[in-house]
């Protein structure tokens, strides 16, 4: 990895270059001046999914879920808690498979919730089923390298 990391802004989707050593210094977006990390999962859609997955130099952990899914709703607070524990080394995001069926189909999401870990546009690992926050953190860290 180089000295500078590319991070996609969760607010305006601009790609920012941030020195790796400054990742923990609450960096802000050069375009919209909002924080690049907010301690909460980012809601992705068809327009922002590929940009965040493909342009971010840090691993992006995506929760593929749907509003009608009971286990998905049960895991949501744990996933939000994990975001606070994993940022800024990871970006956590959610994708509503009901509203974004083409993306879910593209990745062959057959059951939800499914967590998928991406880096540099490539899927590194996948895990189906609801998990507790500590398990999400442990799983993500174990597959990021």
pLDDT digits 0-9 by tens, 92-134: 999 999 999 999 999 999 999 999 999 989 999 999 999 999 9
Please report, rounded to a whole number, the percentage of residues in the chain having pLDDT higher than 90: 94
Q: Which CATH superfamily is domain 39-143 in?
A: Glutaredoxin (3.40.30.10)
Q: Please report, for residues 88, 100, 104, the alpha-carbon distance to residue 114 in angstroms, rounded to integers and kept in the order given.
A: 22, 14, 10
| pLDDT tens digits along 4-29 | 999 999 999 999 999 999 999 999 99
Residue 1 pLDDT greater than 70, yes or no = no
pTM: 0.95
Which residues does residue 4 pair with via DSSP β-bridges, in sequence order? 19
pLDDT at 2: 53
Distance CA 83, CA 86 (A): 5
3-state secondary structure of 109: coil
Strands (E) located in 26-113: 42-44, 60-65, 91-96
Q: Determine whether 12 is an active site residue.
A: no
Domain boundaries, the chain: 39-143
Distance CA 137, CA 46 (A): 26
> What's the CA angle centered on 5, arms 103 and 114, to 5 degrees?
30
- How much is the average pLDDT of 56-75? 97
Q: One of 9, 12, 32, 69 is an active-site residue; which one?
A: 69
Q: Determine whether 32 is an active site residue.
A: no
Here the tokens at position 30 are 């050069």
- How much is the average pLDDT of 75-98? 97
| pLDDT tens digits along 24-36 | 999 999 999 999 9
């Amino acid at each position: 990895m180089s000295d500078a990391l590319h991070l996609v802004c969760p607010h305006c989707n601009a790609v920012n270059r941030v020195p790796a050593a400054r990742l923990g210094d609450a960096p802000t977006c050069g375009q919209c001046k909002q924080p690049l990390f907010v301690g909460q999962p980012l809601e992705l859609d068809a327009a922002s999914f590929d940009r965040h997955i493909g342009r971010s130099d840090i691993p992006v952990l995506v929760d593929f879920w749907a509003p009608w899914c009971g286990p998905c709703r049960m895991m949501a607070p744990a996933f939000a808690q994990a975001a606070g524990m994993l940022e800024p080394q990871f970006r956590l995001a959610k994708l509503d498979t009901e509203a974004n069926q083409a993306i879910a189909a593209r990745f062959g999401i057959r059951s939800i919730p499914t967590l998928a870990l991406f880096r540099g546009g490539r899927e590194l690992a996948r895990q189906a089923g609801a998990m507790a926050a500590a398990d999400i953190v442990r799983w993500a860290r174990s597959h990021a390298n």
